[in-house]
Amino acid sequence: MWFKNLQIYRITDWKLTPEELEELLARRTLQACLSMEMQSLGWIPPGMEETRLVYARGQQMLIALGSEKKLLPSSVVNQRAKERALEMEAQQGYPVGRRQMKEIKEAALYELLPRAFVVRQKSHAWIDPIDGWIIIDSSNIAKADTFAETLLKTIPTLLLKRIKTTLTPASAMTRWLSGDELPHAFTIDSDSVFRSREDKKVSVSYQRHPLDSDEITKHVRAGKEVTKQAMVWENNLSFVLDENLQIKRLTLLDIEKEPAESAEEQFDSNFFLMTEQLKQLLPDLIDALGGEVVE
Give the model confidence (pLDDT) of 69-100 as tens digits. 988 888 988 998 899 899 888 888 888 888 98
| Whole-angstrom distance, CA of residue 285 vs CA of residue 233 | 9
| Whole-angstrom distance, CA of residue 261 vs CA of residue 127 | 26
| Whole-angstrom distance, CA of residue 101 vs CA of residue 79 | 12
- The CB-side HSE value for 2 (13 A sphere, CA atoms) comes to 13
pLDDT in tens, 17-71: 999 999 999 999 999 888 778 889 999 999 877 789 999 999 999 999 999 998 8
Map residue 22 onto helix, strand or coil: helix
Tell me what pLDDT residue 257 has. 67
Q: Are 97 and 37 in contact (CB under 8 A)?
A: no
Residue type, 247: I
Tell me what pLDDT residue 96 has. 85
Q: Are 228 and 242 in contact (CB under 8 A)?
A: yes
Q: Are 67 and 30 in contact (CB under 8 A)?
A: yes
Q: What is the model's pTM?
A: 0.86
| Whole-angstrom distance, CA of residue 154 vs CA of residue 250 | 29
pLDDT in tens, 159-174: 999 999 999 999 999 9
Orientation of helix 98-112 relative to helix 74-92, angle to 10°: 120
Q: Which of 102-106, 218-222, 289-293 has the highest mean pLDDT?
A: 289-293
Mean pLDDT of 244-260: 85
β partners of residue 69: 39, 119
Closest-CA residue to 239 (of 147, 139, 146): 139
